[in-house]
Amino acid sequence: MSAVFDILVIGSGAAGLAAALHLANHGKVAVLSKGILSDGSTRWAQGGIAAVLAETDTHESHIKDTLAAGAGLCSPKTVRTVVKHGRHAIENLIKAGVPFSKYTGPDSEYEFHLTQEGGHSRRRIIHAADMTGKALQETLESKAQSHQNITLFEDHMAIDLISGRHLENPVKNGRCYGAYVFDIKNGHVVRVSAKATILATGGASRVYLYTSNPDGSTGDGIALAWRAGCRVANMEFNQFHPTCLYHPKAKNFLISEALRGEGAYLRLPDGTRFMPDFHKKAELAPRDIVARAIDHEIKRFGLECVYLDITHKGKDFILEHFPTIHERCLEFGFDMTKEPLPVVPAAHYTCGGVMTDLKGRTDVKNLYAIGEVAMTGLHGANRMASNSLLECLVFAEAAASDIVNNLSNLSAPPNVKPWDESRVSDADEEVVVSHNWEEVRRTMWDYVGIVRTDKRLERALRRVTMLGKEVQDYYGNFRVTKNLLELRNLVVVAELIVTSAMRRKESRGLHYSLDYPDLLDQAKDTILKPK
């Protein structure tokens, strides 16, 4: 089976849907979602979107804060571009109907409520209570579902990007023509051809055993782009959210940074605060510092967790600002108005990814990458809170604009070879997939976590390389399944992370090595090129 569109968008979160909506008046757009549209990370974003909105705030302040959090590795040009487009992005969302929380106090500088999060020197986080991602996702979904030029494919997963070698008349021209797509429910592979393709697949935090991310965050877009010939960069910078709820049934429930922005304290079991010992901003220090401090205290005292305490702010304040978090915590038996919440760090955000320019263009022609899948230079060695959704929105519009400007010059995709299943059979033992899935994630958690050493990384590389060979052999002999495709991508991403971490001989931002605790004089990106 085959289908032809003007633009193929792989991913249905904020970046993918925003791009599709910008493009929909200029051509036929297909949007792929691995599950239902809202299965991605966007809907789980609690805090908000960072942008310069208040009269007392400035672009220079937001730029300075972002550069400081990025530990010398941000691209100043990218940071300036994104920050300057912030207000425009927010105004578009307000017009679209995103229900941001209004300001109810006296002497308002801005009609909507702004909060402050770690690394920010001002209140500049616009939010929809404590469920900003859900409000944003639902608004974009509604717009996309009602647009006649957008076709939404749920339960469809990209297997590989279509390049010149996949054409009926093969060529070597470094172009992308769409993707081979697995129809998960029906179990067959579809050829989806397009003049331009956008990767908006999110990050790769499911490569770790414990993560705040939904199950689909398996680095699909990074692996797709790598196999297609794109460079990736800075994969060693994995952000661990400092405060995920510690409970056996709380699979991936993070406690928003906004709690600390509104005055919550981190405490040891005896009630002692510890963050003032680690950073002058205490609980408002950048995420890497907070996560490492928690990890240090847990290991120092042999704890299972630490505690996040906002009880001193009072019940009314908590219920007004954090109604959703309060309700979810009650489901797990915790009343945050009366008691501190047990928390631990968990893998949260992939700061590296597919290298792009300021228009979202990758090394492969007609292939774009936007959102968490991309390495634009905005985050550097550590993402600052609430800059991620802003990046999604700004680069979605930038990529869409570039595609629109060039769409008339792009020819219709040539004939693509059918997917070949003639030499494979149904899998005889699915346990191989589930076992390797567990092993790669545990290996990454044990050896490539918040604190690293050369010995740990060497062990990880040996195991991941072995797993990669096993998975590729399995992939070559059996029909594809969703679990197999995700495992195939997960192993690729794991090896990229370990290789990148081994190349960085210093401690910077989110990468902390006991063997190289010092900072090098010159900050350089870790760039990996496919062979």
Residue ranges of domains in the chain, CATH in brackets: 2-236+351-409 (3.50.50.60), 240-348 (3.90.700.10), 431-516 (1.20.58.100)
Residue 370 to residue 17: CA distance in whole angstroms: 11
Token pair, residue 97, equals 């109907």
Answer whether 182's CB lies under 8 Å from 58's CB. no
Token pair, residue 47, equals 């805090």
Residue 353 to residue 374: CA distance in whole angstroms: 5
User: Catalytic residue at 287?
Assistant: yes
Answer whether 426's CB lies under 8 Å from 479's CB. yes
Q: Which residues pair with 50 in a beta bridge?
A: 125
Residue 246 to residue 252: CA distance in whole angstroms: 9
Long-range contacts from 101-108, C-beta under 8 angstroms, 24+ separation? 101/127, 101/128, 101/129
Residue 290 to residue 119: CA distance in whole angstroms: 11
Q: How far from each other are the two terminal CA atoms of the chain, in whole angstroms?
A: 32
**Nearest CA among 242, 232, 249, 240 for reference residue 207:** 240
Give the list of residues 6+ apart from residue 470 with CB closer than 8 angstroms, or none: 432, 436
Residue 220 to residue 158: CA distance in whole angstroms: 8
Tell me how far the alpha carbon of residue 127 is from its chain's centroid: 19
Query: HSE (CB half, 13 Å, CA atoms) of 434?
Result: 4
> SS3 of 53, please?
coil
Residue 366 to residue 333: CA distance in whole angstroms: 50
Cβ neighbours of 394 (radius 10 Å): 27
Among 124, 287, 383, 508, which one carries the catalytic annotation? 287
Answer whether 457's CB lies under 8 Å from 501's CB. yes
> SS3 of 130, please?
coil
Residue 475 to residue 468: CA distance in whole angstroms: 10
Answer whether 489's CB lies under 8 Å from 465's CB. no
Answer whether 207's CB lies under 8 Å from 200's CB. no
Task: Name the stretches of the chain with pLDDT < 50.
Answer: none
Strands 188-199 and 178-183: antiparallel
